[in-house]
Structure 1
Amino acid sequence: MERRPTIIDVARVAGISKSTVSLVLQNSPLVKEETRRLVREAMDKVGYVYNRAAANLRSSNVGLIGLVINDLRNPFFTEFATSLQMALSARGYATVVANTDEDPAVQAQVVGAMIEHGVSALVLSPTYGDECSTFDAIARGGIPTMQVLRKVDPRVEQFPFAAPDYRLGSLLAVRHLLSFSPRRIAFVGGLADRAVTRERMTGYFEALTEAGMEPFVLSGRASRSFGREAAEELTRTHPEIDAAICFNDLVALGMLSGFAKLKRNVGQDFRMVGFDDIEECSQVFPALSTVHCGIAAFGRSIAATILAWLEEGKRPEPETLTAVELVIRDTSGLKDIP
């Protein structure tokens, strides 16, 4: 059975945007007569028939994307949300954004509200806990949905997952730290029971196994306050540890503050690498070495992926990992990786 022509086909033939075609079909006074003529000719060429009754039923949700983020206070997630929203806007889509603050009950509530308001698709950086309340509701609604940055629901065939390659990032970071022959390297931050923590630790364990070095994990909230506490604890009770990779940049920035208070020289006495490469990393002193996840480009790629799913029926791969790279700055020294 041949696919029925869509508004996307009309826009492609007319050489204009989908949103402009929509304005023509709605008899908007904002559209020039020449553009109306182009659209009518394209409709005839592709055999598109406009069903006004169906369009009226869909008008509340066409072009509306739900974006649910676990922690918008973290600049890493804020940059992702901003880049994705701007990319969707450039294609004529509106974005409804919700912050769940790591609360699964809030997540279930906002996702349910978005489904009720007729979003065309959902992008979730999900929180942990009571996953079924959120994802089963989405499944019942048949809403195209992607999990990003965190894989919470294992049904990736139904809810495709995409994230930076966390394992490779920590592997690169620890191999870099090992090039300075440290006595011991710690992994600092991240809650131990969360999959994303384990994913970011995988490369750490792999590199230490290669080097024959015992790991040391100091788990805790992915926050500046925990980072400050970790700097004090490592200095007081584990003086043999002279290097660390942090779960994220917030922990690393907190450790910088803690070490400054202790007058410990980061970059010489203690070498450290963060994770994510938020903007502040290059602006603090000493500048923070970190794993660059390309989060702005990642947001744009997710926008393109979800729109290809909606507009062209191209379902994303079940799992996608995007490239990362190590950015070496002052906190880990500038020696090249061997």
Structure 2
Amino acid sequence: MPSRKQRNPTPSLLEVAKLAGVSPATVSRVLHNYPHIRDELRTKVLEAIASLGYEPNRVAQRLRATQSHLIGMIVTDITNPFFNTIMASIENVFFNKGFSLLMSNTASDPEKELAYLSMMENEGVAGLVIATTSENVDAVAKLADKGLPIVIIDRRMTKGKVDMVLSDNVAGAFSAVEHLIQLGHTRIGHIGGPLRLTSGRERYQGYQQAMLQAGLPIEDSWVRFGDHRHQSGYEQTLELLNSNPSLTALFIENNMMTLGALNAIHDCGRRIPDDIAIVGFDDMPWSVSLNPPLTTVAQATYDIGTRVATRLLERIEQPDLPPRTDIVPTTLIVRESSGAKQSS
């Protein structure tokens, strides 16, 4: 007598997703009662669960009693004006949509990052905006796989179903160095950010491309890498100028290191731009108040914040969207620190 085909007694989450025609992340979000899932998607998932007799484990059964209206945001340096403007833009969008923002600052510490990621999960945030400490943070990828909507800011990540919003770092750095070359400089130093971050590598790439395109040499001794903070900008610039006194220009990779570099240049007794020309990255409100005013690559911080918030809202509403990356153009703002003549 032929054996009767037995129904799988323990259907998996993947089988539920396949039957419902959605991603596993969407099934997970329905199980965890995430808000803002379209009714038709929720119905499909619930019908597939009922049809297969799927029984989620105890963790998945811990459904939230109320819908979350909390957005998590984790940055690496809350004192950096770059993040301040972006946070203000993000908060404005979410406030108008009825969400509150929960802020955390890792100070670029991976251990703090893990702790805050755990806290965000426990708080049941509806979505997360994060500037990661590196491009491969497994905990972020795992949260995304569980169904948490995530947007990465000012970085790229190679893992996880996440959206990303960042400036065009390569083009921005290229424009800065090209500007110095057009002013006649051939010995241009670079104070870069951490190469573990894609932003640091991309801005270094832009520096290299501009030098190579102009047929200029790139000496390893002309380049130093800091940690995006004021003190590292000061120390790296002091070391660079003391070991390479013939450099006539510097391109510095972020705003806080630029401030440190300016202090180092003044302590060396050099005049800007007569002895050394300077171009920074990030246009801050105080850039025009410096003496001389700072030539810099401006990031569209408010626009970045708005895009981040918009992408996260879209991801909350439509969890099965493919991962998206927004590259936001930069603008070179020419002032006196590079030695360019100003139009009257």
TM-score under structure 1 normalisation?
0.76
- Matched with 1:8 is none
Q: After superposing the two structures, state which structure 1 stretch, 187-196 or 257-266, moved more.
A: 187-196
Equivalent residues of 1:248, 1:275 under 8 A apart: yes
Equivalent residues of 1:227, 1:253 under 8 A apart: yes
- Matched with 2:50 is none
- Matched with 1:190 is 193
- Matched with 1:320 is 326
- Matched with 2:169 is 166
User: Aligned to 1:138, which of 116, 138, 143?
Assistant: 143
Distance 1:318 1:187 in 2: 31
Structure 1 residue 129: Cα displacement? 7.8
**In structure 2, what residue type is equivalent to 1:141?**
K
1:67-82 residue pairs with structure 2 within 5 A?
67-82=73-88
* Relative contact order, higher structure (CA 8 A, sep 6+): 2
**In structure 2, what residue type is equivalent to 1:139?**
A
- Matched with 1:330 is 336
Cα–Cα, structure 1 residues 146 and 266, in superposed 2: closer, same or farther, change >3 Å? same
Distance 2:151 2:322 in 1: 9
Distance 1:241 1:324 in 2: 26
Structure 1 residue 314: Cα displacement? 7.8
Structure 1 residue 236: Cα displacement? 2.2
Distance 2:103 2:144 in 1: 20
- Matched with 1:108 is 114
Equivalent residues of 1:70, 1:100 under 8 A apart: yes
Equivalent residues of 1:120, 1:144 under 8 A apart: yes
Residue 178 of structure 1 pairs with residue 184 of structure 2: no
Equivalent residues of 2:193, 2:226 under 8 A apart: yes
**In structure 2, what residue type is equivalent to 1:118?**
G
- Matched with 1:296 is 302
Structure 1 residue 142: Cα displacement? 1.1
Distance 1:84 1:224 in 2: 26
Distance 1:321 1:140 in 2: 24
**In structure 1, what residue type is equivalent to 2:329?**
A
Deviations 1:264-287 (A, max 9, x none): 111222111111112222222211
Deviations 1:277-317 (A, max 9, x none): 12222222211111101112210121122112223568365
Distance 2:195 2:145 in 1: 32
Equivalent residue of 1:244, what SS?
strand
Structure 1 gaps, min length 5? 1-56
User: Aligned to 2:123, which of 95, 99, 117?
Assistant: 117
Cα–Cα, structure 1 residues 297 and 129, in superposed 2: closer, same or farther, change >3 Å? closer
Cα–Cα, structure 1 residues 94 and 314, in superposed 2: closer, same or farther, change >3 Å? farther
Equivalent residues of 1:112, 1:137 under 8 A apart: no
User: Aligned to 1:220, which of 207, 222, 226?
Assistant: 226
Q: After superposing the two structures, state which structure 1 stretch, 301-310 or 237-246, moved more.
A: 301-310
User: Aligned to 1:256, which of 255, 262, 273?
Assistant: 262
Structure 1 residue 173: Cα displacement? 0.4
Equivalent residue of 1:128, what SS?
coil
Distance 1:129 1:311 in 2: 26
What percentage of residue pairs aligned between the two structures are identical? 28
Deviations 1:74-131 (A, max 9, x none): 1112221222112211221111111111111211111112112211111111112871
Give the superposed CA RMSD: 2.4
Equivalent residue of 1:241, what SS?
coil
Equivalent residues of 1:61, 1:118 under 8 A apart: no
Structure 1 residue 136: Cα displacement? 4.2
Equivalent residues of 1:183, 1:240 under 8 A apart: no
Deviations 1:130-184 (A, max 9, x none): 711x224403531111111012x3136x112110100010010011000111130
Structure 1 residue 71: Cα displacement? 1.3
Equivalenced residues, count: 280
